[in-house]
């Protein structure tokens, strides 16, 4: 059996290849060579890129076997996420790989601005001794304003506190309790601009944040203040910044990112009171290695059919360790659910009860859909395209949670309405220290069966001799019955039997059993990992 093909389109650290391991056919291509890239994508199951390779709709269409696009870094401007999602391709990045490097570069810009380090170096390198011209300012007891108090903002706060600064922040999504924990005072944006001696911006680039520091905001700052942007190009209006620096409305600026990269506005870059670096936020050996290793691990998970926490086009985000064991259980419940359906689905309800609902369980809805559709469609089903498959088929999907579970600590039920008007439900749970996956109910019949690779589910009228009849049939076919559980609501009524068998059961044998015992349902269930 051939190994999955992993295409590396840009230079990555040796540790990245080591993290992929020996299980893949690793190939290299120059991602900037478009014809070579499109040709190489024809056999690729995964592609790893940095920022130079454009993985657009054309590239994705050229890769019929592609399952995952991995960006060894944070930004995804070079990946068409919508096209990838529509094609069922997972997109992953390394969202935390560069946060320390970015925070340290920000501090470097602040220190360089405060002490005029680049300009003083250049002057001395040219033989000019200008001590008085480059008199700077201490950070001690100054106010540093952080716009965006996320992970990088928190790291900057931690580092700058050693300089004896006062840190204030503007972030509408951060609670006062979190700010207090960091030792930061939350202010409005206007208050931050007016009070800060140094301002650094750490916001995502969105339609709302583009140009958020413009002419009006720059005029609101102190004339002695400095502004730094190591986050995303365009958060500061470059034209407005040029005018403010020329007019002396602020003392200086430090930029690592630009609207156009490489930047084309030489008039801004040529000013004496600006420090610029060529997008070096993630350009450390440590950050590059972390990014490569992180996405390599994500590729392994994706190609192994597992959910990837860093997938940007899959709902769920970081998965709590308490929730994670439920993913496999729910996928298997989905496969059982699908095997028992006899008509197209109209709707699916994922009902989750118990202590697990104290955590984010949205990923379990994805797992249920992946399990259901993996049994009914010919194309590869992933956590990315499973919701699209449901939408395309007009299947309404609902997630219901309840902290109260009467019979088990946690129980998960998949409940569906079928096009023929019938209903179906399967329930499962995890039990014991080893978290054993068990099927605990089918269509209201209570059972407790460890989930195995092969099951047979039967529904028939309860009467003497039935077990002997189907037992004989399975014996004749050399099918070993490893376990059996029978559930019924009353003697002589309908009985539901779940068999655990050691090998697959043919449709011919199922039909023979159905005829022998006059069963309403005889279905084989095959569970794939």
Q: What six digits make up the tokens of 452?
A: 């195995």
Is residue 321 reached through a cis peptide bond, with omega within 30 degrees of 0 on the bond before it?
Answer: no
Asked if the structure places residue 309 within a domain, the reply is no
Q: Where are the beta strands (DSSP E) in 282-357?
A: 345-354
Residues 51, 9 contacting (CB under 8 angstroms): no
* Least confident interval from 70-79, 126-135, 399-408: 70-79
Residues 117, 123 contacting (CB under 8 angstroms): no
Asked if the structure places residue 123 within a domain, the reply is yes
Containing 287, the helix (H) or strand (E) segment is: helix 285-303
How far apart (Å, rounded) are the C-alpha atoms in residues 389 and 58? 22
Asked if the structure places residue 308 within a domain, the reply is no
CATH code of the domain containing 106: 3.40.50.720
- pLDDT value of residue 316: 45
Closest alpha carbon to 225 in 303, 149, 156, 168: 168
349: region left, alpha or beta (phi > 0 left; psi from -120 to 50 alpha) = beta
Task: Encode pLDDT of 52-63 as tens digits.
Answer: 899 999 999 999
User: 190: Cβ–Cβ under 8 A, 6 or more apart, which residues?
Assistant: 220
Claim to verify: residue 108 and residue 249 sit in the same structural domain: yes
Give the chain's length.
Answer: 529
**Across residues 427-439, what is the average pLDDT?**
93
Q: What six digits make up the tokens of 421?
A: 């008007």
Claim to verify: residue 112 and residue 83 sit in the same structural domain: no
Claim to verify: residue 134 and residue 220 sit in the same structural domain: yes
Which range of 27-36, 148-157, 302-311, 316-325 scores highest in mean pLDDT? It is 27-36
Residues 419, 345 contacting (CB under 8 angstroms): yes
Claim to verify: residue 371 and residue 520 sit in the same structural domain: yes
Claim to verify: residue 87 and residue 104 sit in the same structural domain: no
pLDDT of 303 strictly over 90: no
Task: Encode pLDDT of 410-425 as tens digits.
Answer: 999 999 998 888 999 9
Closest alpha carbon to 336 in 436, 257, 438: 438
Claim to verify: residue 156 and residue 108 sit in the same structural domain: yes
Claim to verify: residue 290 and residue 267 sit in the same structural domain: no
What is the average pLDDT value for the chain, to the nearest integer? 90
- pLDDT value of residue 117: 95
Asked if the structure places residue 314 within a domain, the reply is no
- pLDDT value of residue 490: 80
Claim to verify: residue 235 and residue 126 sit in the same structural domain: yes
Claim to verify: residue 54 and residue 110 sit in the same structural domain: no
Q: What six digits make up the tokens of 289?
A: 């290695």
Claim to verify: residue 90 and residue 103 sit in the same structural domain: no
SS3 51: coil
Asked if the structure places residue 33 within a domain, the reply is yes
Alpha-carbon distances, residue 319 vs 115, 165, 322, 326 (angstroms): 44, 36, 8, 11
- pLDDT value of residue 318: 55
Could you give the percent of the chain with pLDDT greater than 70? 96
**Across residues 428-445, what is the average pLDDT?**
93
Residues 503, 480 contacting (CB under 8 angstroms): yes
How do strand 143-147 and strand 198-201 relate by DSSP bridges? Answer: parallel
pLDDT band at 369 (very low <50, low <70, confident <90, very high): very high
Asked if the structure places residue 293 within a domain, the reply is yes
- pLDDT value of residue 377: 66
CATH code of the domain containing 492: 3.30.1330.90
Claim to verify: residue 146 and residue 201 sit in the same structural domain: yes
Asked if the structure places residue 265 within a domain, the reply is yes
pLDDT band at 93 (very low <50, low <70, confident <90, very high): confident
SS3 523: strand
Catalytically active residues are 232, 261, 279
SS3 460: strand
pLDDT of 191 strictly over 90: yes
If you search the block for the tokens 């794939």, which residue do you land on?
528
User: 179: Cβ–Cβ under 8 A, 6 or more apart, which residues?
Assistant: 149, 169, 185, 186
Domain that holds residue 170: 99-276
Closest alpha carbon to 388 in 403, 370, 375, 362: 370
Task: Encode pLDDT of 250-294 as tens digits.
Answer: 999 999 999 988 888 788 998 999 999 999 998 888 988 998 998
User: 204: Cβ–Cβ under 8 A, 6 or more apart, which residues?
Assistant: 231, 232
Number of domains in the chain: 3
Asked if the structure places residue 319 within a domain, the reply is no
């Amino acid at each position: 059996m051939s190994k999955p093909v992993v295409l590396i389109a840009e230079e990555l650290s040796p540790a990245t290849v080591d993290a992929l391991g020996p299980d893949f056919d690793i190939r290299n291509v120059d991602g900037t060579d478009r014809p070579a890239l499109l040709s190489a994508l024809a056999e690729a199951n995964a592609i790893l890129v940095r920022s130079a390779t454009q993985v657009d709709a054309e590239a994705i269409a050229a890769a019929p076997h592609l399952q995952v696009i991995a960006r060894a870094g944070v930004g995804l401007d070079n990946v068409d996420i919508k096209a990838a999602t529509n094609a069922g391709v997972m997109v992953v990045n390394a969202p935390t790989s560069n946060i320390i490097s970015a925070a340290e570069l920000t501090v470097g810009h602040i220190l360089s601005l405060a002490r005029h380090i680049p300009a003083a170096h250049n002057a001395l390198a040219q033989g000019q001794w200008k001590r008085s011209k480059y008199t700077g300012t201490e950070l001690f007891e100054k106010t540093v304003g952080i716009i965006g108090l996320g992970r990088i903002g928190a790291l900057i706060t931690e580092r700058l506190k050693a300089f004896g600064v006062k840190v204030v922040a503007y972030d509408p999504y951060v609670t006062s309790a979190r700010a207090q924990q960091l030792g930061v005072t939350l202010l409005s944006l206007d208050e931050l601009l007016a009070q800060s001696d140094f301002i650094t911006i750490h916001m995502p680039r969105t339609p709302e944040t583009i140009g958020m520091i413009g002419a009006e905001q720059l005029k609101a700052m102190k004339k002695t203040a400095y502004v730094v942007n190591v986050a995303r190009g365009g958060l500061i209006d470059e034209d407005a910044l040029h005018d403010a620096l020329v007019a002396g409305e602020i003392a200086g600026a430090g930029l690592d990112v630009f609207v156009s990269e490489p930047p084309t506005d030489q008039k801004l870059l040529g000013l004496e009171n600006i420090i610029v670096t060529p997008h070096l936020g993630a350009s450390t050996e440590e950050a590059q290695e972390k990014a490569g290793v992180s996405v390599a691990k994500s590729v392994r998970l994706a190609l192994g059919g597992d959910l990837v926490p860093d997938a940007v086009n899959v709902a769920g985000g970081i998965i709590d360790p308490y929730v994670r064991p439920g993913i496999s259980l729910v996928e298997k419940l989905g496969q059982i659910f699908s095997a028992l359906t006899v008509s197209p689905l109209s709707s699916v309800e994922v009902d989750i009860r118990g202590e697990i609902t104290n955590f984010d369980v949205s990923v379990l809805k994805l797992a249920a859909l992946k399990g259901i559709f993996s049994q009914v469609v010919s194309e590869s089903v992933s956590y990315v395209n499973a919701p699209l498959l449901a939408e395309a088929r007009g299947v309404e999907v609902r997630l219901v949670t309840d902290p109260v579970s009467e019979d088990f600590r946690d129980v998960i039920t998949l409940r569906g309405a079928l096009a023929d008007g019938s209903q179906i439900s399967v329930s499962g749970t995890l039990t014991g220290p080893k978290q054993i996956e068990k099927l605990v109910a089918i269509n209201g019949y209570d059972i407790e069966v460890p989930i195995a690779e092969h099951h047979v589910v039967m529904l028939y009228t309860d009467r003497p001799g039935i077990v002997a009849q189907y037992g004989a049939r399975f014996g004749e076919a050399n099918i070993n019955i490893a376990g059996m559980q029978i559930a019924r609501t009353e003697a002589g009524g309908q009985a539901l039997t779940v068999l655990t068998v050691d090998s697959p059961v043919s449709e011919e044998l199922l039909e023979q059993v159905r005829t022998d015992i006059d069963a309403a349902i005889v279905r084989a269930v095959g569970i794939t990992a």
